[in-house]
Amino acid sequence: MVQILGLMLLSSFITFILLIPFIDFLYKLKIRRQKQKTVDIFDKPTPLFDKFHAWKEGTPFGGGFLIISVVSILSLWAYGMLNINVKPWELFIILFTFISFGMLGFYDDAKKLINNGKKFAFFGLRFRHKFLIQWVLAFIIATVLYAKLGYFFIFIKGVGLAPLGFLFIPFAALVIVSFTNAFNIADGLDGLASGLLLICLGAFLTISQNQLDEALRTFIAILMGSVSAFLYFNIYKARIWLGDVGSLSLGAVLAVIGLLTGKIIALAFIGGVFILEVGSSLVQILGKKFLGRSILPVSPFHLYLQKIGWDEPKIVMRAWLLGFFFAVLGLYIAFIR
């Protein structure tokens, strides 16, 4: 445990030291939120979102790139220098998830800068194309979990290990895609997604510690340290945002952490606020798609709270508190027999 805490502190210190010049670097490259009219997946304008977030124009984004870099390099260093026993395919899954979804998010961020709302050649991919790429990556990860690491089950209280067989692959892919988009949706308020992630990671650090999974708990600890340093600059009013490079990557890796621990049901509770966010958006999408109208006044849920007059810091802090209770409930479910 001392080693884990030391790595967490080291990761936090390195990220914190690098973030200040990194923010200045983003300003110099003009990698900042542009003035633009946002649209939903149906290419319909979202004036309410623009109304509440117009003041954030000019804030740099791309903090996820630094987190991915620091955590990946420090994790590889820790595995080698500290002689941590890690399965090659487990390492592949963690880093492949982290980097591949980060690259997809980087495309989205680049599109915002280069495209700025227009459609040019390569930068003209629509939401459904990016959604398809998410599924392709998720199926690759799920297949490796099934074929190389022997994962084909989920743990259900009162039942034990419930084997899914080959169906584990589409199930795991669904979990990954769901949390990827849930995190991306929640990353709409300063500090919301990164703060909730810290709570979730704390819960899974406890689970991996209990399972004596040295490789996974090392990665989680390093990730927690880096995200905590980032959160210092990301709370209201944020000096930097994750960008899609960070939100897609971190959402996917949270799902993979849940899959590697075998605690999928617990993951649904530990990440309960993320589920609430993506669930509200899904209901709205299905309503527009099949009923031709909105079911909810507005989505996601945090935007509804803004609509009824809640201040952004209040929403974020209460979401953290709710996330904490969800995490405790998830841990209870994970450990109860």
In a domain, residue 283? The reply is no
Q: Choose between 42 and 159: higher pLDDT.
A: 159
In a domain, residue 315? The reply is no
- Tokens standing for residue 108: 């989205």
Region 89-111: mean pLDDT is 92
The structural domain count of the chain equals: 1
Q: According to the model, what pLDDT value does residue 293 have?
A: 78
The CA-based dihedral angle spanning residues 52, 236, 242, 201, taken in that order and rounded to the nearest 10 degrees:
-120
Q: Which band of pLDDT confidence, cut at 50, 70 and 90, is reported for residue 38? A: low
Q: Which band of pLDDT confidence, cut at 50, 70 and 90, is reported for residue 43? A: low
Please answer whether residues 289 and 233 qualify as being in contact, where contact means their C-beta atoms are separated by less than 8 angstroms.
no
Per-chain mean pLDDT for the chain: 88
Q: According to the model, what pLDDT value does residue 41 have?
A: 54
Nearest-angstrom CA–CA distance, 325 and 319: 10
Per cent of the chain over pLDDT 90 is 63
In a domain, residue 309? The reply is no
Please answer whether residues 104 and 133 qualify as being in contact, where contact means their C-beta atoms are separated by less than 8 angstroms.
yes
> Is pLDDT at 145 greater than 90 in this prediction?
yes
pTM: 0.91
Q: According to the model, what pLDDT value does residue 120 have?
A: 42
CB atoms under 10 Å from CB of 314, counted, come to 13
Q: Pick from 47-51, 294-298, 325-329 the range whose average pLDDT is largest.
A: 325-329
In a domain, residue 325? The reply is no
Cβ-Cβ contacts under 8 Å for 289 (sequence gap 6 or more):
none
In a domain, residue 316? The reply is no
Region 28-40: mean pLDDT is 70
Q: Which band of pLDDT confidence, cut at 50, 70 and 90, is reported for residue 49? A: low
Q: Which of 21-30, 83-92, 157-166 has the lowest mean pLDDT?
A: 157-166
Nearest-angstrom CA–CA distance, 222 and 50: 35
Please write the tens of the pLDDT for every residue from 229-257: 999 999 999 999 999 999 999 999 999 99
In a domain, residue 85? The reply is yes
Q: According to the model, what pLDDT value does residue 289 have?
A: 79
In a domain, residue 331? The reply is no
Region 291-316: mean pLDDT is 88
Please write the tens of the pLDDT for every residue from 52-99: 666 677 889 999 999 999 999 999 999 988 888 888 999 999 999 999
Region 27-31: mean pLDDT is 86
Q: According to the model, what pLDDT value does residue 119 have?
A: 45
Cβ-Cβ contacts under 8 Å for 27 (sequence gap 6 or more):
60
Q: Which amino acid is it at 48?
A: L
> Is pLDDT at 130 greater than 60 in this prediction?
yes
Say if residue 310 is exposed, middle or buried (CB neighbours under 10 Å; 0-12, 13-18, 19+): middle
Region of residue 54 (phi > 0: left; psi between -120 and 50: alpha; otherwise: beta):
alpha
Please write the tens of the pLDDT for every residue from 185-214: 999 899 999 999 999 999 999 999 998 889
- Cα separations in angstroms, 156 against 112, 161, 250, 272, 336: 42, 6, 25, 17, 10
Q: Which band of pLDDT confidence, cut at 50, 70 and 90, is reported for residue 17? A: very high
Nearest-angstrom CA–CA distance, 283 and 289: 10
> Is pLDDT at 329 greater than 90 in this prediction?
yes
Q: According to the model, what pLDDT value does residue 82 have?
A: 84
Tell me the DSSP string of 159-224: TEEEE-GGGHHHHHHHHHHHHHHHHHHHTTSTTHHHHHHHHHHHHHHHHHHHTT-HHHHHHHHHHH
Domain that holds residue 107: 2-263
Nearest-angstrom CA–CA distance, 127 and 298: 20
Q: According to the model, what pLDDT value does residue 127 have?
A: 74
Q: Pick from 53-57, 219-223, 301-305 the range whose average pLDDT is largest.
A: 219-223
DSSP code, position 236: S
Please write the tens of the pLDDT for every residue from 260-271: 998 899 999 999
Q: According to the model, what pLDDT value does residue 162 have?
A: 80
Nearest-angstrom CA–CA distance, 1 and 8: 11
> Is pLDDT at 307 greater than 60 in this prediction?
yes
In a domain, residue 237? The reply is yes
